[in-house]
Amino acid sequence: MAYVKRVALLIELLTLAAMMTACQNMPEPYMPPQQRSPLEEFRPYRATRLVQMADSDAPAFFVQDIGGLEGNWRWAGKRPTLRLRPRANEGLHYVIDFTLPDVTFKETGPVTVSFYVGGRALASEHYASAGARHFDQEVPPDWIVPGQDTLVAAEIDKVWVSKTDGAKLGFVLAAMGLTQP
């Protein structure tokens, strides 16, 4: 019987200890943080699709004249073309980052690159020297139908032709697409 009393006492002490540790102090009430007004030009769903040539999904957008990946860029032929499906048509910009390499420029000389959206000529730029280039121009909203495929292209007037294998190279392409700045 003494053993049973000791066990009962032990159980009572453990129960009492458990009840004492279960108590906790609640934190003091506090004021919620000050509310802020939303950003003036906040657009959570920008209609942007700038295809970086190094992206793993980039080839899904290729239509023509875009070669294999070389680092974070690709060789483009005469008229590299992408197929995009913008969700909006307001405030879209055609953007392209490319390079006219010294290697090809030595033979082609000055070139003109024309930029197209939906089969329409957006602009042309004449380049008198080799080097990295960035082009950015707003696209008229009526040129794009939201939710439908739109072709985006750039065309160089003179391509370099390899004397060994006949490969035709235009320029080095890093990124191309439509953005909503």
pLDDT at res. 29: 77
Contact of 171 with 113, CB cutoff 8 Å: yes
The pLDDT tens digits of the residues spanning 101-146 come to 999 999 999 999 999 999 999 999 999 999 999 999 999 999 999 9
The pLDDT tens digits of the residues spanning 33-84 come to 777 766 665 555 555 689 999 999 999 999 999 999 998 999 999 999 999 9
Q: Which residue has the tokens 């020297």?
A: 129
pTM score: 0.74
Q: Which residue has the tokens 């506090």?
A: 30
Domains identified in the chain and CATH numbers: 49-179 (2.60.120)
Two tokens at 17?
């200890």
pLDDT at res. 46: 53
